[in-house]
Amino acid sequence: MKPSILCILHLPPPIHGAAVIGQYLHDSKSFNDTFDCHFINLTTADSLQDIGKGSFRKLWTYAKLLFNIAKSTKRYRPKLVYITPNTKGIGFYKDFIVIQLVKLSRRKIIVHFHNKGVEERQGKAFDNFLYKRFFNGIKVILLAKSLFQDIKKYVPMEDVYICPNGIASPLDEVNISQHHTNTPKLLFLSNLLIAKGVFTLLDALKKLKDCNCHFTCNLIGGETTEINSEKINQEILSRGLNHNVFYKGSKYGKDKEEEFAAANIFVFPTHSDCFPLVLLEAMQHKLPCISTIEGGIPNIIDDGKTGFVVLKKDPDVLANKIKYLLDHPEERRIMGENGYKKYEQQFTLSHFENNIIRCLTKELFNN
């Protein structure tokens, strides 16, 4: 008989890293063949613009969520409850109540963090009070060992599992012949948030343009309350980059694959991240990656081998690394090949499925 697991996780919409991984688990044959799974969607937002906003509809959705959790823990009596909570802010306060509700049922709990921020907030008396109760008696899955720093005040390392994310292969074979073009093409792909470093990228690209570097850059991603299409186009124009940088909106499926296939370099100068799936996608498409020393990113990019990691919010260093790859096409090809090999060895969906099954199985039989 398969052990019963109640999975309280994010499912799209909206589309973001935690929701993508949640959908993978929901649809995974190996995961569902191993466990008797019951799924509850932790998401209360309908869109990216809806995240962080309060409304009567969201309050009602949250009330129904709590009722569903209470009913499911009683009905299914799961051996383990797997939850993907937020680490800070309103999202954490909401998920804190979820955790306390599950604790009342005396079920074993394991949380899987797809974001970070505990260390940032632990100095606040109220948050520290909640964190102590939140982490008491539960186990934690992190995406990289380097992320332990974020929670080490509350959780010993022996209560932590490490499980890097993985992604599915594209539905169609990727045509990489377009990588070799006269004018190198840069690609940035993320929801339009200041914390994803899109303005830092624009500042770096202005420096490159002022040095007469030849390039184009496509910005791909959904509009948010912080940055809409009008705002991003204004920022592009104000830097004189309107002939080099183009905002293309959201892209999914084949359209997104074509953007990766047409690019030569992937740039993601995020200020706040955990383990960005988009870097795995770029490696999957044999692109050298430039990102930041942030979260688990140094565990994804091997600096100088599969790309570069740079300091956050430093357009000068970012511009220098981009220029190096613009000037060295053979080096970027080699880095792209190295990145693809690392993706194949560590970050495929099957690797992730095997790792998460291993973590949950070990916890199920850990007395």
Same domain for 147 and 262?
no
Q: Which domain holds residue 11?
A: 4-166+348-364
* Number of neighbouring beta carbons within 10 Å of residue 211: 9
Same domain for 16 and 126?
yes
Same domain for 123 and 58?
yes
Task: Label residue 46 by pLDDT band (50, 70, 90).
Answer: confident
pLDDT at res. 158 = 97
pLDDT above 90 (res 34): yes
Q: Is residue 172 part of a domain?
A: no
Whole-prediction pTM value?
A: 0.92
Average pLDDT over residues 12-33: 94
Residues 6+ apart with CB under 8 A from 204: 269, 315, 316, 318, 319, 322
pLDDT at res. 180 = 56
Q: What percent of the chain is modeled with pLDDT above 90?
A: 90
2's tokens: 């398969």
Nearest-5° angle of CA 193, CA 272, CA 28? 90
pLDDT at res. 177 = 44
Place of tokens 């296939």: 261
Mean pLDDT computed over every residue of the chain? 94
pLDDT above 70 (res 181): no
Q: Is residue 146 part of a domain?
A: yes
Average pLDDT over residues 261-268: 97
pLDDT above 80 (res 30): yes
DSSP notation for 68-83: HHHHHHHHH--SEEEE
Residues 6+ apart with CB under 8 A from 148: 142, 157, 160
Domains of the chain: total: 2
